[in-house]
Amino acid sequence: MISWVRFEWDLTKGGISVPAVPPLSMRAAAAEDRETVQKVVLTAFELDSAWGDVMRRLEEGMKRHIKRVFEDDEPPCIVVKHGTRIIGASLLLLDPAAESHLLSGPMILHEYRNRGVGSGLLAASLEHLRSRGVSVARGITRANSVVERFIYPKYSGASAPWAGDPLCKD
């Protein structure tokens, strides 16, 4: 059985400063980024051993999320670029009442990890949600994962165990 943790961030306390991580840049995703975002997100999950035992269900869910996110003219997704290459992405859900606004969480390709990029992408994601009217952002992750221990606690993220299963079909 998988243990899940849900984090919440109060976004009413003002903006979140998005740290610069030169030479990388962040921007909102464009419709033409869909295939690359899918490849980056799935590759990042595949190379994280915390997700190996649920990878098939996770892949199916992420593909559904990506399809839904990229149906919008302005997809709620932030990408990280190194030059012209997308090396990270964060899929978002803008519904203020959502159980989780961070559909993928900040996903960074393995060779770019441990440089503050994930933290920067989380900050950009939270700021994007705040600017779209979300007052409390939520993200669900696996207990004891790298994200749960090192990324989501940043920016005053408060956690609590969560009994649902985010890998179930929508």
Measured distance CA(4)–CA(102) in Å, rounded? 14
Residue with the bigger pLDDT between 71 and 49: it is 71
Alpha helices per DSSP H over the chain: 34-46, 55-69, 117-131, 146
Structure tokens that stand for 91 in this block:
């899929």
Q: How confident is the model at residue 91 (pLDDT cuts 50, 70, 90)?
A: very high
Residue with the bigger pLDDT between 53 and 67: it is 67
Q: What is the mean pLDDT of residues 71-98?
A: 95
Q: How confident is the model at residue 105 (pLDDT cuts 50, 70, 90)?
A: very high
Measured distance CA(26)–CA(86) in Å, rounded? 9
**How much is the pLDDT for 7?**
96
Q: Is the pLDDT of residue 170 over 60?
A: no
Q: Is the pLDDT of residue 116 over 60?
A: yes
Q: What is the mean pLDDT of residues 11-38?
A: 91
Structure tokens that stand for 85 in this block:
């290459």
Confirm if 99 and 164 have CB atoms less than 8 A apart.
Answer: yes
pTM exceeds 0.85, yes or no: yes
Q: What is the mean pLDDT of residues 111-135?
A: 93
Q: What is the mean pLDDT of residues 68-97?
A: 95
Measured distance CA(35)–CA(144) in Å, rounded? 30
- The architecture that CATH gives domain 4-158 is 3-Layer(aba) Sandwich (3.40)
Domain coordinates in residue numbering, the chain? 4-158
Measured distance CA(99)–CA(93) in Å, rounded? 10
**How much is the pLDDT for 167?**
67
Please state, as a whole number, how many other Cβ atoms lie within 10 Å of the Cβ of residue 57: 16
